[in-house]
Structure 1
Amino acid sequence: MDYKKPNAPKRELAIPQGVEKEIFLKAIDELSGDLGKENVELVDKSLVAYQFESNNLTSKTDPNTHDGMHVLDEEEFAASAVVYPCNTEEFQTIVQWANKTKLFGYGGAAPRVRGSVVIDLGRRINKVLDINPDDCTCLLEPGVTFYALYEEIQARGYQHLWVDVPELRGGSVLGNTLDRDVG
């Protein structure tokens, strides 16, 4: 089952609750300065359209701009920005920024609070570092999806190994493990 294409956003940029737009945009500019503008994206109509209309959202990935399996209006859980770190130091920078600005929210592949800033590990920290077919273990960066792990197992010719996935999409191996799930 594929995600349905969202309707054009009815509201402006989702600003975190209790934060003035100017303060939020200043904080985002600060983070962009630390990580590079290409690694911090405001969630606006163009990003949502890019994910859905340019085949950037496939059965292998989840949306990072909003809840793809929403129960309420799809904009109720819209993110305000998506941040793409590439290493531990950048992740630490994001956490320090979030603690300083108080712009942080809990979520899975999508935010649970409108206006949250999403940290997406899947774009730049997504390599399968090692697969040991003898003891059936692997070493992964945190953004590796189940589908990417499956593809790497196949590419290395380890057809006797298999991945027990919790969903048909690209769910995160690390995220699933941290959530004490099975798979």
Structure 2
Amino acid sequence: MPRKHARQRARYNEAVGQERGALYRHALTRAQSAYDDGYFLETIALVESLMADRLEALLSLIDGSPVKFGTVGEAVVELKRRFATIPGVDDVALFAEVTAWSRDRARWIHEFAKLSAVDNLGWDERVADARRVAEQGLALLKRVTAESAAVMRSARADTQRIPAAPELPPQPIPVEMGSARRDTDPR
């Protein structure tokens, strides 16, 4: 099993934030064009990656530690576990919708070409349902993105309200021995 990589944080590195923003815009544009062109599995895969990133951003906000890349389902489980500690996140219905969408996503990503005793849909029915899941995912991604952005803005505003450290008294300017500028010492 491949190792999960830690998510880079933009909070202390503006270049990471800019790179993530550009990657996010490109992936979202590609997801929408894949949907428009009928590539619903590609849309579902990209939406899942983008949604997982937004949920992982919320998780990293809680305790400031890096979050390992995972699936949307894993992120929601962890968010529910820590739910009470996330300021501003109070949309339980959103988590329920993400969980339900994640199950549909997993079904089509992992089982699109599999026939089972209980699931004998034909090709056209599978494509139609994958389209439904892709469409729901795009709509849900907008809500998850808006929710995470609101929480991030709130967190930034909270950190900006932290009182500044008290100013220290001025320190004397060090004077070198034998210097002709000895008279600059404020003492």
> TM exceeds 0.5?
no
Larger relative strand fraction: 1
Larger relative contact order (CA 8 Å, sep ≥ 6): 2
Alignment TM-score, normalising by the size of structure 2: 0.27
Alignment TM-score, normalising by the size of structure 1: 0.28
Larger relative helix fraction: 2
